[in-house]
Chains A and B, each alone.
Chain A
Amino acid sequence: MADFLLELRCEEIPARMQPKAKEDLARLFADALAKAGLPVGEIETFATPRRLALIAKNLPLATEPVSEETKGPKVGAPPQALDGFLRKVGLSEEQLVERDGVYFAVIEKPGRDTAAVLAEAIPAIIRAFPWPKSMRWGAASLSTESLRWVRPLSGIIALLDGAVVPCEIDGIASGRTTMGHRFHHSGPVTIADAGSYIETLRAAHVVVHFSERCALIRDGAAKVAAEAGLTLVADEGLVIENAGLTEWPVPLLGRFDEAFLDVPPEVIQLTARVNQKYFVCKSSPSGEGDRDPKGRGGEADAARPSTILSDGPPPRAGEDSLANAFVCTANIDAIDPAVVVDGNRKVLAARLSDARFFWEQDQKTSLAEHAKKLSRITFHEKLGTVADKVERVAKLARWLCEDGIVTDSPFPPGEGPGMGGATPRPPHTHPQPLPSREGATLADLAEQAARLCKADLVTEMVGEFPELQGLMGGYYAAKEGLPVEVSDAIRDHYKPVGQGDEVPTAPVTVAVSLADKLDTLLSFFAIDEKPTGSKDPFALRRAALGIIQLIQVNSLRLRLSGVPLRWFAFFDHLMAQDLAARLRLQIRVTIFGKPHPHDERKLFFGLSPAAFLESYEDTIFIAQHGHIEGSVLDFFADRLKVQQREAGVRHDLIDAVFALGGEDDLVRLLARVHALQAFVTTEDGTNLLAGYKRAANILKKENYPVTPAKAGASGGNAQLPEVPAFAGMTEQIDGIEQTGEEDPLAMVDDPDIGDIVAESTQTASALSYTPEPAEKALIDALDAAAPRAAQAVEGERFADAMAALATLRAPIDRFFEEVTVNAEEAEKRQARLALLARFRDAVHRVADFSRIEG
């Protein structure tokens, strides 16, 4: 058994690449061992700016000999077969072994020296190394075939049991010498063996363990801060980055001019972090400073910068605020650390004075003035400028408030409508003014915030630090004295930016955030820029997820199918004429490019397409909207499934509700899914599911038709060219309604629909024979349960709907036990099939149980 050391020395490896490089080296090395039949034991890897290294412990000195046996033809087989076999294995007849009347070729492979295996593996690992970016260098680069590495490779140490494993790649031969610290050690360092590698290098001022350097920086930075009576703002991302920039890290604390503290703390932190890789400190004593509302410190957040303050602009004064101090990490034990600190202070001062200049310069112009410059920024070449977008967002945000979708007092999670409670739909609260703002309604504030929410994009500060978008707008709005609801909304309207991010709940913020995301999503769907596979250049998946989270957390009763129409109206109205015309044309092509023969009739009403387009602009309008809407709703459905799956909701249950179709109210949909999840895990639920499946199978065998049922309480889902959601009940509607009513939402709140649903479930025809007791019991149970379930669904009391279904469990079990469906009398058979169909449809109206597993 022996230990093996590999060191690949090169010019400075980018800090960000080192952690992954360690993993890659371990993986490639383990693969090479495994391929050679060597056991893979303990592997440790190291990375510094100037070297990537690995120590593998307890390698055998040789691989085991292997005996490979190949089965050949039977003894006495035709000579051609034997000849063929001999050619294949490369042996003569005498060398074959005979066993049980069959020839075997036995090839003994002797064990190989591990050193030989490694000598072969090292160049292969180097050539195969997956650096994110690699380069050529030196005289050999006259050919593009020359070796590639992250930066010029300058030396290889390969020692097995203290002996050099000889290998060479592009003129670099392995050996046992390396270099110590670039400045603290001169001349080569000779390594005796793997066991002494770490300490030999330490003596040459190199801390070779990445994690040890991280600890030196983490602890050292905290220590110098504490010595100055300050608290370090922990930042694991910076720790890792500085560990990747040093072989001998020495954290040093410096001070900057206090006057810079006028600048928002986020700006100071970002300036120090991004440009200079410095930590910042807070003036509070140790322990007090960790009240970070954003939950820093978890390992998962390690690579992200922590946010120092704050609950919002303006920064809180007091002992929790940022101190005029920074901690830089030098790579030397400087002759006079003060000299190094002073140099760094000057650089930071120059950066901060730029930042302060931006901060002051930006405030000389109001946000409203800044916003005017948005008309010079293209949002997307087919979608106009950012100013156009802002206009749409403002209108959408106002609509969301005026229509009572976003209200002053959103329901807390779990208590709003759709949660099984009897809470009525929230009243429309506009134009009730907010208490804090005399006269200004929620809609006014939302529109105001929306009009200003992108203004900071043209400020100097956001130009310098794009990651401060929103936040700076919030600061500038607060400085201008705008209502706090408005500055908060500007600051937070990008949220949530992903799963786990804080979801806004302040009504004005919710309205602006939702409007912004809806506009982004609908805009790109309108120009057919949908995400495909792993490509989502406009982050539409994230936008959809944000919308879903906003709706969920705030229990917003937003009929998604209604939004595209609203949006399109704004869009059409606002777009520059030619742009709108081009967009319309494109959508026409998308829709009419391949008209379905059936729909063509409906859409064109017998006119030529051109004539139709001219005379029925309004109808076209709906057609356009219908097209966008269909795909948007599908997209939401997909996102919701992904999100719920991650949240632990069974995907088959989501499918069971989605399969009903026609649902565009996420709050209601999720309430139903959650009630279903609670139900199917009960004994009643499990048994009812079994009964349902049995009934469905019988009916399927008999080709018994399925009555369509839709989850939504309305026919609002006017997907074209599909039939409207309620086609099953309202056959008279033929494609696009021709009643002159162009709003597909017209039937949303039609109470008659609910009754039709309820009635259609209990049209039991009279029987011509006396039913058996179990049959009668099921009929009675259905008569009672089906309307109850249907009404409960209508009332969004999904738990009640499940309870109603639960009453069917005993009767259906008994029915299957006692009644023969396949009776000899055709009449009985038909009636019983019809009964099963009623049962199936009643259950199906709550959820598509055929989608549920188990």
Chain B
Amino acid sequence: MSAAPLYKPAPRDPARSFQDMILTLHDFWSAEAGCVILQPYDMRMGAGTFHTATTLRALGPEPWNAAFVQPCRRPTDGRYGENPNRLQHYYQYQVILKPSPSDIQELYLKSLGAIGIDPLAHDIRFVEDDWESPTLGAWGLGWEVWCDGMEVTQFTYFQQMGGFDCKPVAGELTYGLERLAMYIQGVDNVYDLAFNASGVSYGDVFLENERQMSKWNFEVADTDALFDLFAKAEAECRNALSAGVPIAAYEQAVEASHVFNLLQARGVISVQERASYMGRVRDLARSSCEAYAQKMTPEWSAKYPEWSLV
């Protein structure tokens, strides 16, 4: 009986491969902080923070360490593939550590080292940048992390989520993956990034997508259908809330939020209407978070008698 040859993965090369940079971050956070490595949330969303692994898991007393890539869609940032820095679809790398460990900054800096940033060669700075999302009823204090003057990461200690105090506080790291990769690979155009070490570029993967999606976002998307989608998502969110399934409700809030962004990109929402739509999205998101926290409270209280929701 001959044993099958053992598979030994090739060493990661984050300086020459976008995907290796991501895989290195997975390796790092899995090993150093015991993170669960999740896959992206399978819905269109504007930021990694919308992932339930961040928002909903920031609520409650249970420890939670997770890391994942989340594709983000910002329709108004589309530039038809013509701008070297702006994309309507890009990646964020999210790490959420609850409660925030006392060495979280050191862990983060070590992760930068893992993907090839030497802090004596590059000027790393923590510059005040507090975060607030009225939509999620959330805020936190933290920094934007600069590397030679470029913002490469948002670093936030969540203080509130869904209108509730975070007990305990979670630390959230959001790496801008394309920016970091451009920095590490030394390229000036995002489409020139090496996606892997085998000659496939970021442009090979995404350039045509940017062209078509920018056109669709700005010019094509049927606005009547979008208004309809918004209304349906809103209604479905309410339906799910009244049925006591707040996670499903939260998904519909995320959907409504993205449809609103699309309507914005189509330029069919006036200044006055804008505030009203934002208020509606906020109401959905907060109601969902609230309902989730309330639904989970008996379970949480049972495990953590000293903990209370408010």
Identify the A interface with B (CB < 8 A). 11-12, 14-16, 49, 133, 135-144, 150-152, 154, 182-184, 245-246, 276, 278, 328, 330-332, 334-336, 339-340, 342-344, 346-348, 350, 376-378
- List the B side residues contacting A332 at CB < 8 Å: 119-120, 123
Report the separation of the CA atoms of residues A334 and B118 in the bound assembly, to the nearest whole angstrom.
10
Closest B residue to A343 by CB, please name it.
B148
Contact among A133, A140, A150, A343 for B183, CB-based, below 8 A: A343
B79 to chain A, nearest CB (A): 11
Report the separation of the CA atoms of residues A304 and B146 in the bound assembly, to the nearest whole angstrom.
24
Report the separation of the CA atoms of residues A335 and B148 in the bound assembly, to the nearest whole angstrom.
13
The verdict on B39 contacting chain A, using a C-beta distance below 8 Å, is no
Encode contact with A along B122-158: 1 for CB under 8 Å, 0 otherwise: 1111111010000000001101000111100000010
Report the separation of the CA atoms of residues A49 and B157 in the bound assembly, to the nearest whole angstrom.
17
The verdict on B101 contacting chain A, using a C-beta distance below 8 Å, is yes
- State whether A339 and B121 are in contact (beta carbons under 8 Å apart), knowing that A139-B168, A276-B149, A347-B148 are contacts in the complex: yes
* Contact (Cβ within 8 A) B306 A142: yes
- List the A side residues contacting B188 at CB < 8 Å: 346
Contact among B61, B105, B127 for A142, CB-based, below 8 A: B61
Q: Could you list 15 A-B pairs, sorted by A, with CB under 8 Å? A: A139-B168, A141-B100, A142-B304, A151-B141, A151-B157, A152-B157, A182-B109, A183-B124, A245-B127, A331-B125, A339-B122, A340-B122, A340-B123, A343-B150, A346-B188
The verdict on B13 contacting chain A, using a C-beta distance below 8 Å, is no
Known pairs A11-B126, A182-B119, A183-B120 / 14 extra A-B pairs, C-beta < 8 Å: A15-B127, A15-B128, A135-B157, A138-B169, A141-B100, A141-B168, A152-B100, A152-B157, A246-B125, A332-B123, A334-B121, A339-B148, A346-B188, A347-B149
* Contact (Cβ within 8 A) B150 A346: yes
Report the separation of the CA atoms of residues A140 and B307 in the bound assembly, to the nearest whole angstrom.
11
Closest B residue to A16 by CB, please name it.
B128
- List the A side residues contacting B150 at CB < 8 Å: 343, 346-347
- List the B side residues contacting A328 at CB < 8 Å: 149
* Contact (Cβ within 8 A) A136 B159: yes
Report the separation of the CA atoms of residues A69 and B159 in the bound assembly, to the nearest whole angstrom.
51
* Contact (Cβ within 8 A) A343 B147: yes
- List the A side residues contacting B167 at CB < 8 Å: 141-144
The verdict on B270 contacting chain A, using a C-beta distance below 8 Å, is yes
Name the residue among A142, A276, A328, A378 with the largest chain B CB count within 10 angstroms.
A142
- List the B side residues contacting A334 at CB < 8 Å: 120-123
* Contact (Cβ within 8 A) B125 A350: no
The verdict on B225 contacting chain A, using a C-beta distance below 8 Å, is no
Closest B residue to A254 by CB, please name it.
B149
Report the separation of the CA atoms of residues A12 and B145 in the bound assembly, to the nearest whole angstrom.
11
Report the separation of the CA atoms of residues A749 and B119 in the bound assembly, to the nearest whole angstrom.
78
- List the B side residues contacting A15 at CB < 8 Å: 127-128
- State whether A138 and B147 are in contact (beta carbons under 8 Å apart), knowing that A16-B128, A133-B130, A339-B121 are contacts in the complex: no
Q: Which residues of B (238-294) have their CB < 8 Å from a CB of A?
A: 270-272
Closest A residue to B63 by CB, please name it.
A139
* Contact (Cβ within 8 A) B121 A139: no
A-B CB proximity, top 6 nearest: A343-B148, A14-B128, A12-B126, A344-B149, A141-B168, A141-B169
Report the separation of the CA atoms of residues A141 and B149 in the bound assembly, to the nearest whole angstrom.
32
A467 to chain B, nearest CB (A): 19
Report the separation of the CA atoms of residues A827 and B239 in the bound assembly, to the nearest whole angstrom.
96
- List the B side residues contacting A141 at CB < 8 Å: 99-100, 166-169
- List the A side residues contacting B118 at CB < 8 Å: 335
Name the residue among B123, B128, B171, B271 with the largest chain A CB count within 10 angstroms.
B123
* Contact (Cβ within 8 A) B121 A376: no
Report the separation of the CA atoms of residues A629 and B151 in the bound assembly, to the nearest whole angstrom.
53
- List the A side residues contacting B128 at CB < 8 Å: 12, 14-16
- List the B side residues contacting A246 at CB < 8 Å: 125
- State whether A343 and B168 are in contact (beta carbons under 8 Å apart), knowing that A14-B128, A16-B128, A376-B270 are contacts in the complex: no
* Contact (Cβ within 8 A) B165 A142: no
The verdict on B85 contacting chain A, using a C-beta distance below 8 Å, is yes
- State whether A137 and B100 are in contact (beta carbons under 8 Å apart), knowing that A142-B168, A346-B150, A378-B272 are contacts in the complex: yes
A142 to chain B, nearest CB (A): 5
How many A-B pairs have beta carbons closer than 8 Å: the answer is 119
Report the separation of the CA atoms of residues A578 and B44 in the bound assembly, to the nearest whole angstrom.
42
The verdict on B2 contacting chain A, using a C-beta distance below 8 Å, is no
Report the separation of the CA atoms of residues A336 and B124 in the bound assembly, to the nearest whole angstrom.
14
Report the separation of the CA atoms of residues A238 and B147 in the bound assembly, to the nearest whole angstrom.
19
- State whether A378 and B271 are in contact (beta carbons under 8 Å apart), knowing that A141-B169, A332-B120, A336-B121 are contacts in the complex: yes
Q: Which residues of B (5-61) have their CB < 8 Å from a CB of A?
A: 61
A136 to chain B, nearest CB (A): 5
Contact among B123, B149, B169 for A135, CB-based, below 8 A: B169
The verdict on B198 contacting chain A, using a C-beta distance below 8 Å, is no
* Contact (Cβ within 8 A) A139 B99: yes
Report the separation of the CA atoms of residues A150 and B126 in the bound assembly, to the nearest whole angstrom.
14
- List the B side residues contacting A140 at CB < 8 Å: 168
Closest A residue to B275 by CB, please name it.
A378
Report the separation of the CA atoms of residues A305 and B92 in the bound assembly, to the nearest whole angstrom.
35
- List the B side residues contacting A331 at CB < 8 Å: 123-125
Report the separation of the CA atoms of residues A11 and B109 in the bound assembly, to the nearest whole angstrom.
13
Q: Which residues of B (163-221) have their CB < 8 Å from a CB of A?
A: 165-169, 171, 183, 188
Report the separation of the CA atoms of residues A346 and B123 in the bound assembly, to the nearest whole angstrom.
14
B52 to chain A, nearest CB (A): 22
Contact among A49, A184, A342, A376 for B120, CB-based, below 8 A: A184
- State whether A49 and B126 are in contact (beta carbons under 8 Å apart), knowing that A332-B120, A335-B120, A346-B150 are contacts in the complex: yes
- List the A side residues contacting B168 at CB < 8 Å: 136, 138-142
Report the separation of the CA atoms of residues A342 and B171 in the bound assembly, to the nearest whole angstrom.
31
* Contact (Cβ within 8 A) B271 A377: yes
A702 to chain B, nearest CB (A): 67
A357 to chain B, nearest CB (A): 9
- List the B side residues contacting A139 at CB < 8 Å: 99, 168
Q: Which residues of B (58-104) have their CB < 8 Å from a CB of A?
A: 61, 85, 99-102
- List the B side residues contacting A245 at CB < 8 Å: 125, 127
Closest B residue to A344 by CB, please name it.
B149
- List the B side residues contacting A182 at CB < 8 Å: 109, 119, 124
- List the A side residues contacting B102 at CB < 8 Å: 138, 152, 154
Report the separation of the CA atoms of residues A493 and B100 in the bound assembly, to the nearest whole angstrom.
50
Report the separation of the CA atoms of residues A278 and B100 in the bound assembly, to the nearest whole angstrom.
33
B216 to chain A, nearest CB (A): 23
Report the separation of the CA atoms of residues A14 and B141 in the bound assembly, to the nearest whole angstrom.
10
Closest A residue to B167 by CB, please name it.
A142
Closest B residue to A339 by CB, please name it.
B121
* Contact (Cβ within 8 A) B272 A138: no
Closest B residue to A154 by CB, please name it.
B102
* Contact (Cβ within 8 A) B272 A340: no
- State whether A142 and B148 are in contact (beta carbons under 8 Å apart), knowing that A339-B121, A376-B271 are contacts in the complex: no
Contact among A142, A151, A350, A376 for B85, CB-based, below 8 A: A350
- State whether A135 and B141 are in contact (beta carbons under 8 Å apart), knowing that A49-B126, A335-B121, A343-B149 are contacts in the complex: yes
- List the B side residues contacting A343 at CB < 8 Å: 122-123, 147-150, 183
- State whether A340 and B99 are in contact (beta carbons under 8 Å apart), knowing that A135-B141, A144-B165 are contacts in the complex: no
A280 to chain B, nearest CB (A): 14
A554 to chain B, nearest CB (A): 37
Contact among B119, B147, B304 for A183, CB-based, below 8 A: B119
Name the residue among A137, A332, A334, A378 with the largest chain B CB count within 10 angstroms.
A137
A137 to chain B, nearest CB (A): 5
Report the separation of the CA atoms of residues A342 and B122 in the bound assembly, to the nearest whole angstrom.
10
Report the separation of the CA atoms of residues A151 and B123 in the bound assembly, to the nearest whole angstrom.
21
- List the A side residues contacting B101 at CB < 8 Å: 138
Name the residue among B130, B140, B141, B271 with the largest chain A CB count within 10 angstroms.
B141
Report the separation of the CA atoms of residues A110 and B102 in the bound assembly, to the nearest whole angstrom.
42
Report the separation of the CA atoms of residues A348 and B148 in the bound assembly, to the nearest whole angstrom.
11
Report the separation of the CA atoms of residues A245 and B147 in the bound assembly, to the nearest whole angstrom.
13
B227 to chain A, nearest CB (A): 20
- List the B side residues contacting A144 at CB < 8 Å: 165, 167
A469 to chain B, nearest CB (A): 17
Report the separation of the CA atoms of residues A141 and B166 in the bound assembly, to the nearest whole angstrom.
8
